[in-house]
Amino acid sequence: MFPWKVLHVETGRYLHGGAQQVVHLVTGLAEHGIQSVLACSKGSEVAAALAGVAARVEELPISGELDFLLTSRLLRLAREEQIDLVHLHSRRGADLFGGLAGRWGRWPVVLSRRVDTPESRLVCAVKYRLFDRVIAISECIERVLRAGGVPASKLRCVHSGVDPAPFEQPADRGWVCREFGAAESDLLVGLVAQLIPRKGHAVLLEAMEHLRAGFPHLRLILFGRGPLQANLREEISRRDLTRQVQLAGFRPDLPRIVPALDLVVHPALAEGLGVALIQAAAAGVPIVGARAGGIPEIVRHDENGLLVEPGDSMALAAAMKRLLTDEPLRRRLGDAGRDLVARQFTYDRMVAGNLEVYRELLEPRAIRAA
């Protein structure tokens, strides 16, 4: 058991993959005796998700990436709570202003980096001085940071994780088909992602046009929300795919839905890792993914899925066709996905990896203080 208190900063408003990881990290750390204080935006879903968990939640007024007062708010909160370490989980200004708060308060500062977008060497040289450790959620992100000049001594790779148990339940195919107006004989394909350009929805819709004639019973369900919703609805109509493609919005019951899918597709143009892919693998569903960012770390080609080049709709359609016409192959890849998650992508491994970083920073301080 570790008698430490950690200030976590997560400024995202919605309970997407990164925020889900924060919820499970805080919950897991409590089992090791670590107290957590979460600073988040007012009205955020992560605050509601942590209600009743062993953590104090402080909802702050955060006005965007240039909210310069965020540093003073975090500094005040950290001093009031007598924290031992600051852990920053999001950008939107939280990295810069949270890092400054940590430095001024003389606490160790950890940043979790979840995106693979490169930053200039100048930005890296200035910003990453604020952090004692940077946790990359994929090896790809770690490589990007090294290329930007972040010292290897600061970098640690800790993959995101999931609790496999909810996704290992028997597939309720009949309920899922009724829920989405499909026939049980239909082939069900899902994409679980925010509706934003880099997730590759446009590439997938183009692939669906290539597949339409040969797969009249193919149904694509797009799970998620975001600014592209209206554009995607128009694009689906323009491509005459309204019978094949459905926008399902955000669904909190994915553990009941995903196991009943025949295939999960993730054609992202850039991706840090992809929690939805870990969930699909845990459910035993084969995956077709783009060879972008950290996706190849969870989608192993010909092991638990197939990989294609980002933006190549013809290759995407061909990979989907290969799996949709080969049920034994789908079963083999799906079984391998379950094994892969159990070995490398559980919450326990994710919590242990973060805890090890805390120990690197806090145990030497405790020895010096003694």
Average pLDDT for 277-306: 97
Query: Residue range 281-296: average pLDDT?
Result: 97
Rounded alpha-carbon distances, angstroms, from residue 264 to 197, 244, 289, 321? 18, 15, 8, 13
Give the mean model confidence (pLDDT) for residues 180-195: 96
d(CA 323, CA 288) in angstroms, rounded, equals: 9
**Rounded Cα gap, residues 220 and 205, in angstroms:** 9
Identify the pLDDT of residue 221: 98
- The fold of the 165-344 domain, in CATH, is Rossmann fold (3.40.50)
Q: What is the pLDDT of residue 46?
A: 80
The token pair at 23 is: 């919820």
- Tens-digit pLDDT profile for residues 192-250: 999 999 999 999 999 999 999 999 999 999 999 999 999 999 999 999 999 999 999 99
Per-residue model confidence as pLDDT tens digits over 52-100: 676 788 888 876 666 778 889 999 999 999 999 999 997 766 788 889 9
Residue 343: burial class (beta carbons within 10 Å; 0-12, 13-18, 19+): exposed
φ and ψ at residue 289, rounded to 5 degrees: -130, 160
The whole-angstrom distance between residue 96's C-alpha and the CA centroid of its chain comes to 21
Q: Which residue has the higher pLDDT, 348 or 43?
A: 348
CA distances from 96 to 59, 79, 118, 143 (A): 19, 19, 16, 21
Q: Is the pLDDT of residue 123 over 90?
A: no
Please tell me which residue, 366 or 133, carries the higher pLDDT value.
133
Fold match, 5-161+346-369 / 165-344? yes
Classify residue 301 by its DSSP letter: B
Contact 259, 167 (CB under 8 A): yes
Q: Are 124 and 40 in contact (CB under 8 A)?
A: no
- pLDDT per residue as tens digits for the range 326-335: 999 999 999 9
pLDDT score of 368: 63
**If pLDDT is split at 50, 70 and 90, which confidence band does 370 have?**
low
CATH-assigned architecture of domain 5-161+346-369: 3-Layer(aba) Sandwich (3.40)
Position 119 scores a pLDDT of: 87
CA distance 90 to 20: 12
Which pLDDT band holds residue 366 (cuts at 50, 70, 90)?
Answer: low
- Angle (CA) 338 341 347, round 5°: 135
What average pLDDT score do residues 103-132 get? 92
Give the total residue count for the chain: 370
Question: pTM (2 decimals)?
Answer: 0.89
DSSP-derived 3-state class of residue 358: helix
- Start-to-end CA span in the chain (Å): 18
In the chain, where the domains are located: 5-161+346-369, 165-344
- Residue 111's pLDDT is 96
HEC string of 58-93 equals EEECCCCCCCCCHHHHHHHHHHHHCCCEEEECCCCC
The Cα 243–Cα 260 span in angstroms is: 20
The helix or strand, by DSSP H or E, that contains position 174, with its residue range, turns out to be helix 173-179
Report the C-alpha gap between 342 and 336 in whole angstroms.
10
Work out the average pLDDT over 132-149: 96
17-26: pLDDT as tens digits: 788 898 889 9
Q: Which residue has the tokens 């995407």?
A: 316
pLDDT value of position 23: 87
* C-alpha–C-alpha distance, residues 39 and 60, integer Å: 7
What is the b/e burial string over 302-330, where b = at least 16 CB atoms within 10 angstroms of the residue's CB? Answer: eebbbbbebebbebbbbbbbebbeeeeeb
pLDDT digits (tens, 9 = 90+) for 239-268: 999 999 999 999 999 999 999 999 999 999
Please write the tens of the pLDDT for every residue from 147-180.
999 999 999 999 999 999 999 989 999 999 999 9
pLDDT value of residue 55: 76
* 249 neighbors 224 (Cβ within 8 angstroms): yes
